[in-house]
């Protein structure tokens, strides 16, 4: 639909382009888009290393297991896994999947590297704006001191088996 005239626009008259200023546009042909569009990564590009606890959980999205590309890469793979685990660090990385670039965290577990996609900062909402009735954060006193003591006996690591027992239709 033409916004100025209200007339319907035929799909053959629609193109892709970029405004360069002053009402001027550069049209981009479909084959040119294919050349510059991200394809499928053959590698994960690590740009930085940060402490495991440096990323707030709200940014995590999906989890994938990562393995070496072939037997010749197992030694390097295990070296990276062991170094991350020992240093308590994660790698901040990017890779392309399904024509989309993802910001990720590469972290080590006991025997495997795990890739977790992250939400970009503009995808995470500010709770202060979304939840206007949040408490002031001035709680204190004996009740707050008793909280951690009440949970000490119930501490355990939550694994896949425990999660499946709590899913609807699973276990019971």
User: For residue 46, what pLDDT is reported?
Assistant: 92
For 23-164, where are the E strands, in sequence order? 24-28, 45-51, 60-66, 89-97, 100-108, 113-118
Which tens digits make up the pLDDT trace of 25-74?
A: 777 777 766 565 555 556 788 999 999 899 999 999 999 999 998 899 99
User: For residue 153, what pLDDT is reported?
Assistant: 59
Residue range 2-15: mean pLDDT, rounded: 82
Q: Is the dihedral angle over the CA atoms 75, 80, 84, 87 positive or is it negative?
A: positive
- By C-alpha distance, which of 88, 89, 85, 75 is closest to 46? 89
Distance CA 11, CA 13 (A): 5
pLDDT above 80 (res 17): no
Distance CA 105, CA 101 (A): 13
Which tens digits make up the pLDDT trace of 125-135?
A: 888 788 888 77
The domain spans of the chain are 45-123
Distance CA 159, CA 58 (A): 19
55 DSSP β-pair partners: none
Indicate the pLDDT class of residue 85, thresholds 50, 70 and 90. Answer: very high
CATH pick for 45-123 out of 3.40.250.10, 3.40.50.300, 3.30.930.10, 2.40.290.10: 2.40.290.10
What is the chain's mean pLDDT, rounded? Answer: 80
Give the CA dihedral 151, 154, 160, 166, nearest 10 degrees.
-80
Rg (CA), the chain: 24
Burial class (CB in 10 A: 0-12, 13-18, 19+), 126: exposed
Per the structure block, which two tokens stand in for 80? 């990276």
User: For residue 90, what pLDDT is reported?
Assistant: 95
Q: Which residues contact 129 (CB under 8 A, 6 or more apart)?
A: none
């Amino acid at each position: 639909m033409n916004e100025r005239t209200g007339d319907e626009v035929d799909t053959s008259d629609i193109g892709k382009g970029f405004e360069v200023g002053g009402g001027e546009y550069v049209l981009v042909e479909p084959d040119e888009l294919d050349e510059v569009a991200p394809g499928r990564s053959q590698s994960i590009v690590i740009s930085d290393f940060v402490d495991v606890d440096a990323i707030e959980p709200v940014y995590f999205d999906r989890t994938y297991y990562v393995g070496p590309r072939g037997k010749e890469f197992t030694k390097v793979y295990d070296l990276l896994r062991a170094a991350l685990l020992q240093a308590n660090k994660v790698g901040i990385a990017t890779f392309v999947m399904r024509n989309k670039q993802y910001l990720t965290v590469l972290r080590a577990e006991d025997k495997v590297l795990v890739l977790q996609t992250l939400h970009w900062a503009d995808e995470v909402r500010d709770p202060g704006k979304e939840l206007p009735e949040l408490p002031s954060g001035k709680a204190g006193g004996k009740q707050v001191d008793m909280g951690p003591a009440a949970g000490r006996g119930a501490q355990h690591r939550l694994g896949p088996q425990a999660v499946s027992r709590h899913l609807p239709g699973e276990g019971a």
